[in-house]
């Protein structure tokens, strides 16, 4: 269904493509973004992490509100960087977790208030998932929030990786981005386990195959 | 003959390794490695430019390739087709579609300090 949306829109709208992004933008209602947006509009001077390929829309919107932002594309860095360290005795891939965190998520002494994770946790190598969440926990102010999207399926068009562009309203625009294999479909229980120790968990159901979660530090 | 008001420009074939300093507007179309500091000027990185340097100016407009940090006391603009890898500290930031940027953006206190630094005259005199 997703690819049909993009194909249909391609005929109707001018494409907004660039390296790492291709094709038209397709709007999607997001209760999670709506919730985070209200906070961004109400509180000045927040520090935000936005994950994914360069999104001028996201940069301009967030900086227009006076917030500082840190841009990273964890999935791209994980799969294209030199982080594989060979195999363990069971034949399982080993990863340079510390090196990855130091290079990709080098926050220095900065603490953050909002993280726009989007679907990154579905695509990261298994060895990096928990360390990334732990690293974010350490780098966030109390009350900091992570907006994360989770695929409910790992096959079919629903597993297509897209970039989410934020808007001033309750929608986010989806745009095809560089594809990497989806690694997992989290269950509610596995999400809770991943974010064990965080103080809040709010889930938003959606009509498509992507669920939205806001975790509070 | 260049007029008195002609903008300072470093052409496409020029390569500079070191420090570029000034207090007027400057257009860079060549290659620069090092640092570029304009205390009160507008810095334009042309579409053919390849810069591996930290940049500091009042306003910065980027159309080419920059690998380095950008500090502006005013506005930074990333135009379509540019490629910036580094951190940006500024009062305002505008990014066009098809601009590629990787790094941190800080519009907070560091921008104020940069503004104060930019208005101090080079070799400024002090009074007792």
Domain boundaries, chain A: 2-216
**What is the ipTM, given to two decimal places?**
0.71
Summarised one tens digit per residue, pLDDT across range B5-41 is 578 999 999 999 999 999 999 999 999 999 999 988 9
* End-to-end Cα separation, chain B, in angstroms: 44
Question: What's residue A39's pLDDT?
Answer: 97
> How many Cα atoms occupy the beta-carbon half-sphere of B36 within 13 Å?
33
pLDDT bracket for residue A106 (50, 70, 90): confident
Q: Which pLDDT score is estimated for A153?
A: 86
Under an 8 A CB cutoff, do B93 and A60 touch? yes
Q: Searching chain B, which residue's CA lies closest to the CA of residue A52?
A: B102
Q: What are the φ/ψ torsions at residue B125 (nearest 5 degrees)?
A: -85, 150
Task: Give the contacts of B103 (CB within 8 A, at least 6 positions apart).
Answer: A71, B69, B84, B85, B86, B87, B88
**Average pLDDT over chain B, rounded to an integer:** 83
Does residue A51 surpass a pLDDT of 80?
A: yes
Tokens of A66: 């006076």
The angle, 0 to 180 degrees and rounded to 10, between the axes of the packed helices A126-138 and A97-104 is 50
pTM: 0.83
H or E segment and range at residue B122: none
Closest CA to B32 of B49, B7, B8: B49
CATH class of the domain whose range is A2-216: alpha beta
- Name residues whose C-beta falls within 8 Å of residue B76's C-beta, 6 or more positions apart in sequence: B59, B60, B61, B62, B70, B88, B90, B92, B93, B94
pLDDT beyond 80 at B127:
no
Q: How far is B2 from chain A (nearest CA, A)?
A: 38
Partner-chain contact A54 B103, CB within 8 Å: no
For residue B55, the model assigns a pLDDT of 97
Q: What percent of chain B has pLDDT over 70?
A: 79
Q: Which of A4-18, B4-18, B97-111 has the highest mean pLDDT?
A: B4-18
For the record, the structure tokens of A211 come out as 């669920």
pLDDT of amino acid A4: 55
**CB distance A101 to A131 below 8 Å:** yes
Question: Per-residue pLDDT for A98 more than 80?
Answer: yes
Whether the per-residue pLDDT at B108 is higher than 90: the answer is no
B36-76 residue pLDDT tens? 999 889 999 999 999 999 999 999 999 999 999 999 999 99
Residues 6+ apart with CB under 8 A from B121: B39
Residue A173 has pLDDT above 70, yes or no: yes
Residue with tokens 């109390």: A142
Burial, A21: exposed, middle or buried (Cβ in 10 Å; 0-12, 13-18, 19+)? buried
Helices marked H in chain A: 2-12, 31-42, 56-64, 74-80, 97-104, 120-123, 126-138, 188-194
Closest in A56, A63, A73 to B107, CB measured: A63
Which of B78, B95, B112 is the best mutation test for A, with the most CBs of A within 10 A? B95
Q: Which of A54, A60, A68 sits opposite B106 (nearest CB)?
A: A68
Check pLDDT > 90 for residue B122: no
Taking every pair of Cα atoms in chain B, the longest distance, rounded to a whole number of angstroms, is 52
pLDDT at B124: 32
Q: State mean pLDDT over A99-104.
A: 92
Q: What is the per-residue pLDDT for A22?
A: 84
* B72/B56 Cα distance (integer angstroms): 6
Does residue A164 or residue A103 have the better pLDDT? A164
DSSP calls for A143-184: EEEEEEEEES-SSSGGG--EEEEE-SSSEEEEEEE-------
Element (H, E) at A94: strand A93-95
């Amino acid at each position: 269904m997703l690819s049909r949306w993009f194909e249909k829109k391609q005929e109707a709208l001018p494409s907004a493509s660039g390296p790492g992004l291709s094709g038209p933008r397709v709007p999607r209602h997001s209760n999670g973004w709506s919730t985070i947006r209200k906070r961004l509009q109400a509180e000045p001077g927040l520090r935000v992490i936005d994950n994914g390929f360069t999104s001028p829309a996201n940069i301009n919107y967030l900086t227009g509100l006076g917030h500082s932002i840190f841009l990273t594309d964890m999935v791209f860095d994980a799969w294209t960087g030199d982080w594989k360290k060979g195999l363990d005795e069971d034949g399982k891939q080993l990863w340079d977790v510390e090196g990855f965190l130091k290079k990709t998520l080098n926050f220095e002494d900065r603490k953050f208030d909002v993280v726009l994770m989007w679907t990154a946790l579905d695509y990261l190598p298994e060895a990096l998932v928990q360390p990334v969440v732990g690293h974010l926990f350490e780098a966030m102010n109390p009350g900091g929030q992570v907006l994360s999207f989770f695929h409910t399926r790992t096959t079919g068009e629903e597993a297509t990786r897209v970039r989410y562009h934020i808007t001033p309203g309750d929608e986010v625009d989806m745009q095809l981005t560089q594809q990497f294999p989806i690694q997992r479909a989290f269950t509610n229980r596995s999400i809770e386990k991943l974010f064990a120790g965080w103080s809040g968990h709010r889930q938003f159901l959606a009509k498509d195959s992507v669920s939205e979660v806001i975790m509070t530090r | 003959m260049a007029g008195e008001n002609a903008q300072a420009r470093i052409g496409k074939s020029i390569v500079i390794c070191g420090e570029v300093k000034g207090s007027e507007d400057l257009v860079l179309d060549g290659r620069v490695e090092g640092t570029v500091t304009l205390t009160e000027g507008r810095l334009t990185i042309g579409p053919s430019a390849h810069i591996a340097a930290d940049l500091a100016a009042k306003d910065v407009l980027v159309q080419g390739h920059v690998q380095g940090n950008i500090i502006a006391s005013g506005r930074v603009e990333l135009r379509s087709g540019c490629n910036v890898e580094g951190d940006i500290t500024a009062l305002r930031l505008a990014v066009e579609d098809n601009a590629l940027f990787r790094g941190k953006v800080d519009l907070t206190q560091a921008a104020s300090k940069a503004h104060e630094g930019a208005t101090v005259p080079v070799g400024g005199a002090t009074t007792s």
